[in-house]
């Protein structure tokens, strides 16, 4: 029985060329980058070259800096908490007000909850049944003490794309000094993105979502944006992230992005086409299914689908027996029994949410994989609906 991996939004396999680069790094760059002797200098040069490659991929130019972290979650925490700490430090008589959406990843939402516990004021902007956000509701929520607006680029569960260019342009018109941050964890590698196009002050992403190693991430910080470190110790990463750098992880990010830069157009064309084929075969072949999220403005690699009369947990178990790897939503929530906060925010009823499964394809998915998966899904759904 084949194993068909359809959970690329949870994590991606390491690209062989990235793995080769990582092995070479582990073999030949063993010095501490903070050391002044030859081995340390060589490691430092490797990190700075990697930083330049990441900036080039994002079209950052000299507009800001890349801070390497351990994950997308850490990057998000550093951006949001770090900026609020800086605001509180520089405006001792003001309580910071921060804005986000109700469908963000828990890395954002739980950071907001933490900041609420230490006195920050928060606003959560809802979405409609198609997962879209009202820009006027965001701008209308801005106050005199609003210090940060954080809106994700693409939703991890539904693939819905947010119009972050328009969102942050309008935010800046209302209050120019508001820091604009976006969680781009699901955008990098799955959609075209350039900092030349979007007025962002900070953006976060994670290596393992685009064929680099797990345990490495990065944060872009525009020049002039003040944030305080949340990990204290040495002066690594421009004094914003203490701890000896994960050289292999950093190199894996740079190598993965350099590969992406060369193949991006062809890869997106192929994956988007394959995503459309998957959608059509699934919907034409099975009755009683619904697409969750936005039918148009979404990552085409992502299908979040509810199957009438079927519980997602049971169907996932059956699909695993057929060799299909998929998920009921965010991998961070695996094993939990609570309903998806993302789908609840869309206003869907409990039955629809309880029957939702996320399929996400990527670099190594083939049309044969899709054909096999659709056949297995049909069998699994029919089996559960008939009780056989």
Catalytic, 332? Answer yes
Q: In the predicted model, is pLDDT for residue 31 greater than 70? A: yes
pLDDT at residue 334, rounded to an integer = 53
From 180, 203, 216, 332, the catalytic residue: 332
Torsion of CA 259, 261, 266, 270, to 10 degrees: 70
Return the residue matching tokens 């992502």. Answer: 302
Spell out the alpha helix ranges (H) of 286-366.
Answer: 312-321, 341-345, 350-354
Residue 58, judged by CB atoms within 10 A of its CB (0-12, 13-18, 19+), counts as buried
pLDDT at residue 387, rounded to an integer = 82
pLDDT tens track for 53-75: 999 999 999 999 999 999 999 99
Task: Compute the distance between CA of residue 127 and CA of residue 138 in angstroms, rounded to an integer.
Answer: 11
Q: Are 213 and 14 in contact (CB under 8 A)?
A: yes
pLDDT tens track for 290-349: 999 999 999 999 999 999 999 999 999 999 999 999 998 655 555 555 799 999 999 999
Provide mean pLDDT across the span 182-205.
Answer: 97
pLDDT at residue 92, rounded to an integer = 85
Q: Does domain 4-12+264-386 have CATH number 3.90.1150.10?
A: yes
Task: Compute the distance between CA of residue 239 and CA of residue 94 in angstroms, rounded to an integer.
Answer: 26
Residue 248 neighbours by CB under 8 Å, 6+ apart = 22, 25, 26, 213
CATH fold label, 16-259: 3.40.640
pLDDT tens track for 273-292: 999 999 999 999 999 999 99
- What integer best gives the mean pLDDT of the chain? 95
Provide mean pLDDT across the span 105-109.
Answer: 98
Q: In the predicted model, is pLDDT for residue 388 greater than 70? A: no
Provide mean pLDDT across the span 156-178.
Answer: 98
* DSSP calls for 51-105: HHHHHHHTT-TTSEEEEEES-HHHHHHHHHHHHHHHHHHH-TT---EEEEETTS-
pLDDT tens track for 196-223: 999 999 999 999 999 999 999 999 999 9
pLDDT at residue 283, rounded to an integer = 96
For residue 112, report the phi and psi dihedrals to the nearest 5 degrees.
-60, -40
Is the whole-model pTM more than 0.85?
yes
Provide mean pLDDT across the span 164-189.
Answer: 98
Which residue ranges make up each domain of the chain?
Answer: 4-12+264-386, 16-259
Q: Are 305 and 359 in contact (CB under 8 A)?
A: yes
Question: How confident is residue 30, by pLDDT bands cut at 50, 70 and 90?
Answer: very high
* DSSP calls for 97-149: EEEEETTS-HHHHHHHHHHHHTT-EEEEE-B-TTS-B-HHHHHHH--TTEEEE
pLDDT at residue 333, rounded to an integer = 55
């Amino acid at each position: 029985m084949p194993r068909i991996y359809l959970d690329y939004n949870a994590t991606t396999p390491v690209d062989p060329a990235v793995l080769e680069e990582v092995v070479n790094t582990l073999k030949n760059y063993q010095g501490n980058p903070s050391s002044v002797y030859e081995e340390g200098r060589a490691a430092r040069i490797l990190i700075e070259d990697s930083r330049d490659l990441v900036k080039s991929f994002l079209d950052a130019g000299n507009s800001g800096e890349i801070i390497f972290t351990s994950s997308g979650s850490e990057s998000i925490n550093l951006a949001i908490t770090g900026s609020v700490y800086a605001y509180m430090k520089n405006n001792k008589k003001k309580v910071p007000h921060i804005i986000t959406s109700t469908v963000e990843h828990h890395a954002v939402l739980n950071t907001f909850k933490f900041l609420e516990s230490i006195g920050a004021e928060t606003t959560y902007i809802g979405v409609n049944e198609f997962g879209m956000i009202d820009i006027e509701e965001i701008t209308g929520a801005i106050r005199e003490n609003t210090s940060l607006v954080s809106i994700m680029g693409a939703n991890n569960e539904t693939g819905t794309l947010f119009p972050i260019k328009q969102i942050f342009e309008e935010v800046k018109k209302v209050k120019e000094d508001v820091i604009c941050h976006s969680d781009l964890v699901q955008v990098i590698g799955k959609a075209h993105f350039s900092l030349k196009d979007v007025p962002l002050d900070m953006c976060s992403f994670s290596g393992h979502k685009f064929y680099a190693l797990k345990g490495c991430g990065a944060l872009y910080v525009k020049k002039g944006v003040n944030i305080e470190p949340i990990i204290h110790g040495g002066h690594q990463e421009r004094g914003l992230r203490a701890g000896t750098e994960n050289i292999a992880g950093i190199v894996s990010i740079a190598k993965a992005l350099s590969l992406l830069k060369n193949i991006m157009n062809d890869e997106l064309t192929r994956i988007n086409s394959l995503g459309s084929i998957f959608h059509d075969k699934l919907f034409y072949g099975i009755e009683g299914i619904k697409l969750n999220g936005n039918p148009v403005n979404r990552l085409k690699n992502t299908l979040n689908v509810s199957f009438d009369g079927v519980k997602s947990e049971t169907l996932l178990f059956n699909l695993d027996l057929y060799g299909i790897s998929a998920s009921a939503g965010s991998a961070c929530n695996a094993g939990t029994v609570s309903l998806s906060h993302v789908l609840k925010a869309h206003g869907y009823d409990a039955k629809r949410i309880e029957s939702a499964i996320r399929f996400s394809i990527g670099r190594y998915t083939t049309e044969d994989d899709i054909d096999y998966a659709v056949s297995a899904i049909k069998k699994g759904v029919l089996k559960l609906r008939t009780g056989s």
